[in-house]
Structure 1
Amino acid sequence: MVFGVKYCGGCNPRYNRTSFFDTVKKRCPETEFQYVQPETVYDHLLVICGCPSRCADISKIQVDGDIFNISEESQLEQLIMEIKQR
């Protein structure tokens, strides 16, 4: 299972997105994460936005499964639980 990872532009981050993603990777070692590339189809997509506007453009990203759109640090535990269920 491969999760594509997309960050927003970072114009108004309200938490440390890199630290957030590092925690996700450490707690989900069985999951493969790849930064999104054109023409690649991902099983699921993780969009890491820095604020509630969730402005990251994902319109051209191909994904077969779920899209997890994160906009605040408090979503960490729920996200990890969802990833582990996949």
Structure 2
Amino acid sequence: MVFGVKYCGGCNPRYDRTTFFDTVKKRCPEAEFQYVQPEVTYDHLLVVCGCPSRCADISKIQVIGDTFKVSEESQMEQLITEIKQR
């Protein structure tokens, strides 16, 4: 299963998004993560937002399954559980 990964613009980050995503990747080796590219369709989408406004534009990203938007570190365990269930 392939997850497209999109970061927000980072205008107001309240946690270290890179460390967050690195941890998710390490704990979910069964998933393949690819940074979003145009014209590619993904099984699922992970949007790593830096704050609660979650303003990243994902309108042109093609995704078949679920979209997961995270905006704080406390969402990590739930996200990992969701990824492992896919």
TM-score of Structure 1 vs Structure 2, range by shorter chain: over 0.9
TM-score, normalised by the number of residues in structure 2: 0.99
- Runs of 5+ unmatched residues, structure 2: none
Corresponding position: 1:14 with 2:36: no
What is the CA distance between 1:6 and its match in structure 2?
Answer: 0.1
Aligned to 1:38: 38
TM-score, normalised by the number of residues in structure 1: 0.99
Residue deviations 1:28-65 (CA, integer Å, cap 9, x gap): 01110000000000000000000000010000000000
- Runs of 5+ unmatched residues, structure 1: none
Residue identity opposite 2:52 in structure 1: P
The ranges of structure 1 where at least 4 consecutive aligned residues each deviate by more than 6 angstroms after the TM superposition are: none
Percentage identity across paired residues of the two chains: 86
Query: 1:51 is paired with a residue of what secondary structure?
Result: coil
Matches within 5 A, 1:1-86: 1-86=1-86
RMSD: 0.3
What is the CA distance between 1:73 and its match in structure 2?
Answer: 0.5
What is the CA distance between 1:24 and its match in structure 2?
Answer: 0.2
Query: 2:24 is paired with a residue of what secondary structure?
Result: helix
Equivalent residues, number: 86
